[in-house]
Amino acid sequence: MIEVADGVLVATSRVMSTTSTVLHGGGEALLIDPAWLPDELDALADALDARGLRVIGGFATHAHHDHLLWHPRFGTAPRWASPATATLARDERAALVAALGADFPTALVDLMGRVEGTDAALPRASTPAGFAPELVVHDGHAPGHTALWLPEQRVLIAGDMLSDVELPLPFDPDDLPAYLAALDLLEPYVECAAIVIPGHGLPGSNAVSRLDADRRYLADVVAGRTPSDPRLANPGMPAEYERLRAMVARA
């Protein structure tokens, strides 16, 4: 794990550079999107033990299988998400379980997606000393997608937005307007952020240029121009570009 700000630790999975974020203070920890592979979740539990941290809560940024994970060793603290995320995690459970693959351990499958919806802020009992996360809920990438803004630390935990490796991924059938609105909603936080932590990719101090790149890419696709975004060279991204082009053509 690397420490990107006081009390903010980030671990990175070997699958799709998926990040797990740990906020800790006073010996207590909040886990955001712990991921992904069983041995990595186990190693995260080891790392928490080594630091003497007790898990007092979890948070899932959105209802995709790689952001809803948990491990028995993290314990039974409440796990939170936006109301829309919690509803999707329940209603789409069969598809989310299938996305984990047949080989995923049963104990982890059982724990996947067991989140409760919370409207405004995280309950105090789930928030480590020194943190007052603000939930920035929107419908970019997934309905009820949530970024966490840490005003004291000036850290923006962006979920699957503002990635340096993934292109903007609005989801079918057509949430491109919602995605653009989400970027607008995130803009004031981006402008204040010392560090942005994407759900996939590297934490960086360049939140503003990431937001600009996302807007430029989407504007290019909408206008029918070929984007020059370097992220197009990353695995899976050419297919996402084609999917977005088809989405725009249908609109």
Q: How far apart are CA 115 and CA 113, in angstroms?
A: 6
CB of 144 to Zn ion, least distance (A): 12
Nearer to Zn ion, 160 or 214 (CB): 160
- Edge-to-edge strand list for the sheet holding 19-25: 2-5, 8-12, 19-25, 28-32, 54-59, 79-81, 116-117
Kindly tell me which of 118 and 146 has the beta carbon lying closer to Zn ion.
146
Three-state DSSP at 43 gives helix
For the bound state, the minimum distance from the C-beta of residue 140 to Zn ion, rounded and expressed in Å, comes to 10
Angstrom distance (rounded) from CA 151 to CA 136: 12
Among 21, 40, 64, 182, binds Zn ion (CB under 5 A): 64
**Per CB under 5 A, which region of 108-116, 155-163, 184-192, 216-224 contacts Zn ion?**
155-163
The stretch near Zn ion (CB under 5 A) out of 15-23, 44-52, 61-69, 76-84 is: 61-69
State which of residues 28, 33, 40, 160 lies at the interface with Zn ion (CB under 5 A): 160
Q: How far apart are CA 85 and CA 16, in angstroms?
A: 22
**Least CB distance to Zn ion at residue 250 (A):** 21
- Taking a C-beta distance cutoff of 8 angstroms, is the pair 211, 183 a contact? yes
Site for Zn ion contains 200 (CB under 5 A): no
Q: How far is the CB of 129 from Zn ion (least distance, A)?
A: 30
Q: Least distance to Zn ion from the beta carbon of 76, Å?
A: 25
CB of 64 to Zn ion, least distance (A): 4
> What does residue 191 show for φ and ψ, rounded to 5 degrees?
-65, -25
- 41 or 56: whose CB is closer to Zn ion? 41
Q: Which is nearer to Zn ion, 64 or 71 (CB)?
A: 64
Phi first, then psi, for residue 222 (nearest 5°) are -60, -40
Query: Reduced to 3 DSSP states, what percent helix, strand and coil does the chain have, rounded to the nearest 5?
Result: 40, 20, 40
Residue with nearest beta carbon to Zn ion: 64
Contacts of 205 (CB under 8 A, 6+ apart): 194, 195, 196
Binding residues vs Zn ion (CB under 5 A): 64, 160
